[in-house]
Amino acid sequence: MHRFCLILIVLLAGVFSVSAQAPRHYVCYRTTGTSPDWQNIPWTEDFLDIEGTAKPIPLYRTRVKMQWDDTCLYVLAELEEPHIRGTLRQRDTIIFHDNDFEVFIDPDGDTHQYYEIEINALNTVMDLFMVKPYRNGGQAMINWDAKGLRTAVRFNGTLNNPADKDSSWTVEMAIPFRALAFYGRRSLVQDGSTWRINFSRVQWQMDIVDGQYVKRPRTPEYNWVWSPQGMINMHAPEHWGYLQFSVQRPGVFKEPVIAAAANELWNIYYRQKQYWEQHKSYAKNTEALGINSPAVIEGTTLQFSASIQEAGYITIINQEGKITSRHE
């Protein structure tokens, strides 16, 4: 989805807090066969509104399963739907103009150089690469393709038939790890690897008029997601969920060791953006931001960096929201 203007308005208004709901997590098991066997694989939690639990529960259930092997991440999504509908048939058209299912993947969790795949009920795909989020000046590279991507859509009902009531549709994806290798950065996966990932479902409000589906005019779409963003903006990867790869079953999720430091640095990032709007320069210390933090800040008119040394790692964020860490 490319609905990012709201976050810019929020920042310019000086409001930097979002939903405090912690990112969800999913332990992804290695498949034991030559293809994914979904029977004993757990579902994710049901999707919620993109803004979180303060908003109404979605009208229709959405949930996901995942598996992996040496070559691919496998995704199975189930979307409850009384009227399965699709109109867009050309690859890389703006698929969320239909009801759709979307995947967002940031393999190294730095919030830059991430991937998005959208699909509708006609099995039409739009895939793109983001060098950085829109809020930081990023542009969607729609000419990027997930090479080797395999997708399938199935119906528990009928497609584009307003005369009956359907039950659900499912999406399966095999996403090759080698496809997630822009700029030569191969996404290597092993037991314990952790990615940031999220899933979104765009659902338009429809009426049936003279036997045809008609979008309700001037009515916004629903945005239902696996891990709530706390804002109407999927392009804030710091709010995505955690995907942890596991060989062992059952697997136990282990929060990344830098998670607490990263959360503190994101608080500083949003405060710095507010500070810049007021002063046209970045703060040089945490006191100027009105917080008591272990972070070390360097700031100039156009740039800042903030770092925290904790648990044997130094974690750093900059003015573009790129977050990195290294072992000390």
Of 196, 245, 189, which is closest to residue 71 (Cα–Cα)? 189
The answer on pLDDT for 20 being more than 60 is: no
114 contact partners, CB below 8 Å, separation of at least 6:
104, 105, 106, 107, 129, 130, 196, 237
> In one letter, which amino acid is 116?
E
> Which DSSP helix (H) or strand (E) runs through 298?
strand 296-299
Q: pLDDT band for position 183 (50/70/90)? A: low
- Average pLDDT estimate for 272-279: 97
The structure's pTM equals 0.93
- Among 13-27, 66-80, 152-166, where is mean pLDDT lowest? 13-27
Pair 55, 49: CB distance under 8 Å:
yes
* Residues facing 203 on adjacent strands: 222
Amino acid at 42: P
Contact 88, 82 (CB under 8 A): no
Determine the pLDDT at residue 213: 95
Mean pLDDT score, 175-190: 82
Over the stretch 52-91, which tens digit does the pLDDT of each residue have? 999 999 999 999 999 999 999 999 999 999 999 999 999 9
Helix, strand, coil % over all residues of the chain, rounded to 5:
15, 35, 50
Predicted confidence (pLDDT) at residue 144 exceeds the cutoff of 90: yes
Is the predicted pLDDT of residue 145 greater than 70, yes or no? yes
**pLDDT at site 184:** 61
Confidence of residue 185 (pLDDT cuts 50, 70, 90): low
Distance CA(242)–CA(254), nearest Å, equals 10
In which element (H, E) is residue 199 found?
strand 194-203
Q: Contact at 8 Å (CB) between 224 and 238?
A: no
| β-strand pairing of 194-203 with 114-120 | unpaired
User: What integer best gives the mean pLDDT of the chain?
Assistant: 92
Q: Using DSSP bridges, classify how beta strands 168-176 and 72-80 pair: parallel, antiparallel or unpaired.
A: antiparallel
Distance CA 291, CA 266 (A): 13
Q: How confident is the model at residue 14 (pLDDT cuts 50, 70, 90)?
A: very low
Residue-level pLDDT at 186: 65
pLDDT for 311: 87
| Residue-level pLDDT at 15 | 38
